[in-house]
């Protein structure tokens, strides 16, 4: 860590400051009516966990638009979920929850640790998490309040900043956070309690080595920067941006999981959303996998019994449907969690492992696939040989995540990965050497990323589909080939999918001077070339 000196302590900080309530009335501004005196060692972990909770909401939104979720039989009233006839209130919780919870707390941490060397790690971590949340908002909504957001009475109607400008500033913030970590001289450490992302050693449950812990924070920042630059590459020249990436630092090689001690009575948010509630009842039996996404497991498009058996109930006879089909559509398996195996050999693994599982912010698989794409495009060094290795590492990392249990205990997946390659010897979505053009290689990478992020970080799959057009969809080609709802009301696009969501109804009420009406079937996020 550049010879830095670490100030060891119990993690109790020597200052206190005022922090506004996480639930404010004016959407993206401070609530002056509820204040307590709290230290950054308590606020930062709360903000990290809130980021994970919001991530679960984004996962559900991406599962819908990204082609993973279909309606099950026995239920009605799906409405806009089938038609895509969006309204301003349809996904406003993504906006309001992000501003009210993680971003508000992160701003407090940043404001009160800025320039204080002993609090440098808290400052850097908060800035990295701020980037995570703002990038999600930009990718979903485009222009959003940024420079004037969360300023209370100083900006009751915060302007919407240009989305591309926000991206540029977020990338600079990541560089700044890495520099802060590198140059801190006497920082208080982030304890396991204050850092539910990288603070705990999963093998022992104890504190991690501080150098390893902060190296993971830097690698996470570097990987977020890589993701953003690749997203920008579809619509602009990013050569200069890639020139600033520190390849010697590297990128994530382990899953970035938030775990403050999730357990049955304090369950993981994704488990609660798609598994079971605290009382043990099924959370969402009205949803089953799409036939489109399931085709990447059951042999229709790719044979993948290893990940299929770990990820779905009763695989390969899991009930599936095309979104929008309400004629004889199958019901979910009675009494069972759909995205969880009930096979004794794989139970407790896969997508929904149990209430004590960590909440993924970014999978190592995604990091490897990002590197692979950058290498294919010549944006990172290594060429096609290196891209092949990164691609294969992405597949291996996907198996590795799915074959971790709630406690992050990993099973040996070598045989499963070898079997996967062996079952698909002529499939260029699996065997990288068979993808002989840049377009084919990018398709293979994005398709494998789509498989890896299935109901885990599904919003990233939807983002990547909009950016690249992969995985390939064949409108009207049948349930296994058509990603869209068959009740889509969108006729202006061949894929019949929304291009984005609308600004929330709350903005009409509280920030009407900046509110904008959106064409969800035509307006594109600035990085979307399609």
Report the C-alpha gap between 312 and 317 in whole angstroms: 9
Residues 6+ apart with CB under 8 A from 34: 20, 21
pLDDT the model gives residue 5 = 42
Segment holding 360, helix H or strand E: strand 359-362
Measured in Å, how far apart are the chain's first and last C-alpha atoms?
43
Q: Which residues, listed in sequence order, are joined to residue 38 by a DSSP beta bridge?
A: 17
* Class of the CATH-defined domain 17-251+260-265+355-510: mainly alpha
What φ, ψ does residue 44 adopt, rounded to 5°?
Answer: -60, -50
pLDDT the model gives residue 38 = 63
Can you give the pTM of this predicted structure?
0.92
Residues 6+ apart with CB under 8 A from 330: 72, 73, 288, 319, 320, 321
What are the domain boundaries of the chain?
17-251+260-265+355-510
What φ, ψ does residue 246 adopt, rounded to 5°?
Answer: -85, 95
**Please, are residues 413 and 403 in contact by the beta-carbon 8 Å criterion?**
yes
> H helices of 233-319, where?
239-243, 269-274, 291-294, 305-311
| pLDDT tens, N- to C-terminus, the chain (530 residues) | 444 444 433 333 333 333 333 334 344 554 544 444 468 999 999 999 999 999 999 999 999 999 999 999 999 888 999 999 999 989 999 999 999 999 999 999 999 999 999 999 999 999 999 999 999 999 999 999 999 999 988 888 999 999 999 999 999 999 999 999 999 999 999 999 999 999 998 777 788 999 999 999 999 999 999 999 999 999 999 999 999 999 999 999 999 999 999 999 999 999 999 999 999 999 999 999 999 999 999 999 999 999 999 999 999 999 999 999 999 999 999 999 999 999 999 999 999 999 999 999 999 999 999 999 999 999 999 999 999 999 999 999 999 999 999 999 999 999 999 999 999 999 999 999 999 999 999 999 999 999 999 999 999 999 999 999 999 999 999 999 999 999 999 999 999 999 999 999 999 999 999 999 999 999 999 999 98
**Please, are residues 190 and 183 in contact by the beta-carbon 8 Å criterion?**
no
pLDDT the model gives residue 4 = 41
pLDDT the model gives residue 340 = 96
What φ, ψ does residue 51 adopt, rounded to 5°?
Answer: -60, -40
Buried b (16+ CB within 10 A) or exposed e, 278-316: eeeebbbbbbbbbbbbbbbbbeebbbbbbbbbbbbbebe
Segment holding 69, helix H or strand E: strand 69-71
pLDDT the model gives residue 34 = 42
3-class DSSP state for residue 64? helix
């Amino acid at each position: 860590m550049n010879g830095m000196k670490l100030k060891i302590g119990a993690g109790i900080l020597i200052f206190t400051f005022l922090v506004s309530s996480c639930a404010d009335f004016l959407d993206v501004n401070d609530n002056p009516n509820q204040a307590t005196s709290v230290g950054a060692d308590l606020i930062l972990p709360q903000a990290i966990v809130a980021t994970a909770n919001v991530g679960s909401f984004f996962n559900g939104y991406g599962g819908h638009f990204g082609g993973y979720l279909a309606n099950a039989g026995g239920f009605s009233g799906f409405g806009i979920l089938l038609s895509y006839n969006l309204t301003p209130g349809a996904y406003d919780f993504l906006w309001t929850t992000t501003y009210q919870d993680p971003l508000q707390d992160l701003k407090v941490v940043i404001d009160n640790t800025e320039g204080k060397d002993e609090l440098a790690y808290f400052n850097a971590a908060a800035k990295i998490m701020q980037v995570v949340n703002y990038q999600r908002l930009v990718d979903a909504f485009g222009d959003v309040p940024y420079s004037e957001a969360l300023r209370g009475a100083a900006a009751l109607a915060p302007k919407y900043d240009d989305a591309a400008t926000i991206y540029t500033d977020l990338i600079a913030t990541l560089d700044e956070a890495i520099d802060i970590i590198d140059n801190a001289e006497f920082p208080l450490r982030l304890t396991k309690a204050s850092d539910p992302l990288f603070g705990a050693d999963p093998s022992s449950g104890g504190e991690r080595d501080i150098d390893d812990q902060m190296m993971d924070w830097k690698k996470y920042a570097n990987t977020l920067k890589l993701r953003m630059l690749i997203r920008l590459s579809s619509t602009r020249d990013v050569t200069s941006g890639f020139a600033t990436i520190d390849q010697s630092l590297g990128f994530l090689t382990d899953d970035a999981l938030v775990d403050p001690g999730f357990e049955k009575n304090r369950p993981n948010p994704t488990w609660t959303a798609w598994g079971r509630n605290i009382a043990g009842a099924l959370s969402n039996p009205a949803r089953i996998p799409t036939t489109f996404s399931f085709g990447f497991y059951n042999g229709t498009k790719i044979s993948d019994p290893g990940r299929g058996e770990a990820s779905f109930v009763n695989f390969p006879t899991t009930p599936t449907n095309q979104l929008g089909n309400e004629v004889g559509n199958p019901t979910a398996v009675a009494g069972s969690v759909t995205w969880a195996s009930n096979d004794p050999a794989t139970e407790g693994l896969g997508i929904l492992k149990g209430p004590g599982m960590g909440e993924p912010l970014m999978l190592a698989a995604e990091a490897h696939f990002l590197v692979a794409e950058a290498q294919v495009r010549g944006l990172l060094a290594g060429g096609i040989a290196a891209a092949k290795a990164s691609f294969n590492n992405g597949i291996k990392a996907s198996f590795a995540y799915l074959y971790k249990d709630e406690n992050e205990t990993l099973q040996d997946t070598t045989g499963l990965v070898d079997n996967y390659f062996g079952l698909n010897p002529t499939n260029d979505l699996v065997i990288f050497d068979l993808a002989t053009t840049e377009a084919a290689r990018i398709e293979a990478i994005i398709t494998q990323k789509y498989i890896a992020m299935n109901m885990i970080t599904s919003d990233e799959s939807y983002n990547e589909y909009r950016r690249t057009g992969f995985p390939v969809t064949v409108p009207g080609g049948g349930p296994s080939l058509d990603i869209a709802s068959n009740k889509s009301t969108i006729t202006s696009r061949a894929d019949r999918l929304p291009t984005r969501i609308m600004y929330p109804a709350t903005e009409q009420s509280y920030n009407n001077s900046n509110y904008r009406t959106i064409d969800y079937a035509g307006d594109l996020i600035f990085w979307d070339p399609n």
